[in-house]
Amino acid sequence: MNDNTVIISEIKRLLGGRQPLAYVRSFGCQLNTSDGEKIKGLLRKMGYGFTEDEAQADLIILNTCAVRENAEDRVFGIVGSMKKLKELRPDLIIGIAGCMTAQSHIAEKIKKSYPQVDFVLGTSAINGLPRLLLDCLNGAKFSADIAEYDDFSAQAEQVRESSFKASVPIMFGCNNFCTYCIVPYVRGRERSRRPEDIISEVEGLVRDGYKEIMLLGQNVNSYGNDLGGEMSFPQLLRRLNAIEGDFWIRFMSSHPKDASAELIDAIFECDKVAKHLHLPVQSGSDGVLRRMNRRYTAEKYLGIVDEIRRRDPDFSLTTDIIVGFPDETEEDFEATLAIMERVRYDNIYSFIYSRRTGTKAAEMPDAVSEEEKGARMRRLLELQREISTEHYKRFIGRRMRVLVDDVSKKREGYVSGKSSEFIIVELEGDSSLIGQFVDVEITEAMNWAVRGRRV
Ligand code: SAH
Ligand code: SF4
Ligand code: F3S
């Protein structure tokens, strides 16, 4: 535990009743966004207000992602451009948080080449933020805290981005070491939050009117493995499903190697659990899956899909796919296309493989050219477009329950939201519907969404 009370009152004293403004920007996955909300929670406690305009900010925090090289390049670009801001306003404090900070070569690079950065805050050190800020306000040149506090207390104080959709991390870290992936190195080993803390947080959110609870973890299926059999993920789902109220439960991500029969039972038996599963396949080739250390075969994966579709032939599945893993052959790639045709995903999130220093795959030879990888990516996207266009037609004539989340940017007089199946639905309406459940009869299918009318 680290007690911030004294430090926070010292900061307030230094600020002398003034309300400085903070600009906090999160990159990467929803877990990082959730950390960003915790950072904001701490800042609010210290007396900060918030701005979306970095030129107005007294404090800038970039909460970074390291999963692919282009994510890191973007951050370096932004930090580079902040040199000017800092020259204009030497009092400006700039901090880098998130997954990039956990790689020593990146932390070194920031320290050496970006003197405009005042502090670095590690992914497990969010509670160390007040201390770092106090150092900066006292004139320290550069400070860093990348310790692991293993303290989930900042959870309670977050400034949430939405008033009807909430992310609830249930565990941190990852033990899987997929050979391409940096996450286990930057987020550490799996740590599950206490079930009673998760339950009371969700109860509070439902009381506050939240309509969608997104349970987050790098592999939610291994929730509880470190709790000595006290609670598994399917049990947690059932426990949360029993909370009274009108809300949906979603979760991300599920590793196929741990997607059990109990999990599938829980999805079908819990009325509040959304009827959608994000099940990252990464590749359809057993050779590539082995070299990725995914610990399942295409056949095992399809077994899970078949069990789900046996219960509901139209069940909605989405996935992540990596194109161009080291030495991926044309045959390997075609196996990926084949699994896409077989599963018929409603949506895929596809990425060209990015070499991450420190991971096993970074050492693997790779004879495939960038042009070839780009060409494969285009083929994959084209196939998915065809599949979505065809597959979305199954919703025409059906009723879908939709949580409206925004006015449509594509069509005036329309709003859009997501159905339980995680499909984007457009319907006529105005901003008064935002944050509400509505029933929609689907009349039209596109390749990225469906459209319908309220019933
Ligand atoms: N824990 C989650 C994924 C976290 S990262 C899971 O296992 O499903 C999200 C996605 O980024 C991964 O599923 C993978 O498809 C992609 N990804 C991870 N590392 C990558 C890399 N080095 N290059 C390209 N894509 C990568
Ligand atoms: Fe990365 Fe694999 Fe862990 Fe997902 S399960 S975070 S892809 S190592
Ligand atoms: Fe990126 Fe870190 Fe998430 S590397 S994907 S922000 S866990």
Structure token digits, residue 297:
């075969």
Nearest CA to ligand 1 atom 2: 218
Indicate whether residue 304 lines ligand 3 (CB < 6 A).
no
In this predicted structure, what is the pLDDT of residue 147?
Answer: 73
pLDDT interval class at 2 (50, 70, 90): low
Distance from the CA of 66 to the center of ligand 3, in angstroms? 6
Q: In whole angstroms, what is the distance from residue 288 CA to residue 364 CA?
A: 12
Tens-digit pLDDT profile for residues 367-412: 999 999 999 999 999 999 999 999 999 999 999 999 999 999 888 9
Nearest CA to ligand 2 atom 4: 218
b/e burial code for range 287-320 (CB count within 10 A of at least 16 → b)? ebbebbebebebeebbebbeebeeeeeebbbbbe
User: Which ligand is nearest to the Cα of residue 320, counting in written order?
Assistant: 1
The reply to whether CATH 1.20.210.10 applies to domain 5-145 is: no
Q: How many CB atoms lie within 10 A of CB 54?
A: 17
Nearest CA to ligand 3 atom 7: 183
Query: What value does the mean pLDDT take over residues 128-144?
Result: 89
What are the start-end ranges of the H helices in 242-329?
Answer: 261-269, 286-291, 298-311
Q: How many CB atoms lie within 10 A of CB 16?
A: 7
What are the start-end ranges of the H helices in 270-369?
Answer: 286-291, 298-311, 330-343
Tens-digit pLDDT profile for residues 314-367: 999 999 999 999 999 999 999 999 999 999 999 999 999 999 999 999 999 999
In this predicted structure, what is the pLDDT of residue 108?
Answer: 87
Distance from the CA of 100 to the center of ligand 3, in angstroms? 9
Nearest CA to ligand 1 atom 5: 67
pLDDT interval class at 146 (50, 70, 90): confident
Query: Which residue ranges have their beta carbon within 6 Å of ligand 1?
Result: 67-68, 180-181, 183, 218-219, 253, 255, 280, 282, 320, 322, 351, 353-354, 356
In this predicted structure, what is the pLDDT of residue 1?
Answer: 45
Q: In whole angstroms, what is the distance from residue 252 CA to residue 319 CA?
A: 11
Whole-number percent of the chain with pLDDT over 70: 98
pTM greater than 0.75 (yes/no):
yes
Structure token digits, residue 266:
């829980």
Distance from the CA of 412 to the center of ligand 2, in angstroms? 40
Domain boundaries, the chain: 5-145, 162-274, 396-454
The reply to whether CATH 2.40.50.140 applies to domain 396-454 is: yes
Candidate from 27, 99, 278, 322 with most ligand 1 atoms within 8 A of CB, to mutate: 322
Distance from the CA of 173 to the center of ligand 2, in angstroms? 9
Indicate whether residue 222 lines ligand 2 (CB < 6 A).
no
In this predicted structure, what is the pLDDT of residue 151?
Answer: 60
- Going by C-alpha positions, the residue among 385, 311, 404, 303 that lies closest to residue 344 is 385
Ligand 2 atom nearest the C-alpha of 175 is 3
Distance from the CA of 363 to the center of ligand 1, in angstroms? 18
User: Which ligand is nearest to the Cα of residue 351, counting in written order?
Assistant: 1
Indicate whether residue 263 lines ligand 3 (CB < 6 A).
no
Distance from the CA of 154 to the center of ligand 2, in angstroms? 24
In this predicted structure, what is the pLDDT of residue 334?
Answer: 98
Nearest CA to ligand 2 atom 1: 181
Return the CATH number of 162-274, one of 2.60.120.650, 3.30.750.210, 3.90.550.10, 3.40.50.720. 3.30.750.210
> Is there a common fold for 5-145 and 162-274?
no
Which 8-state DSSP code applies to residue 168? E
* Contact partners, residue 288, CB within 8 Å, separation at least 6: 282, 325, 328, 332, 335
Distance from the CA of 350 to the center of ligand 1, in angstroms? 9
Ligand 3 atom nearest the C-alpha of 30 is 3
Distance from the CA of 43 to the center of ligand 2, in angstroms? 30
Residue 424 in this model has a pLDDT that exceeds 80: yes
DSSP H helix total and E strand total for the chain: 13, 19
Distance from the CA of 30 to the center of ligand 2, in angstroms? 14
Candidate from 62, 69, 121, 183 with most ligand 3 atoms within 8 A of CB, to mutate: 183
- Going by C-alpha positions, the residue among 221, 287, 208 that lies closest to residue 254 is 221
Comparing 3-7, 27-31, 285-289, 421-425, the range with the smallest average pLDDT is 3-7
Query: What value does the mean pLDDT take over residues 30-55?
Result: 94
Distance from the CA of 123 to the center of ligand 1, in angstroms? 18
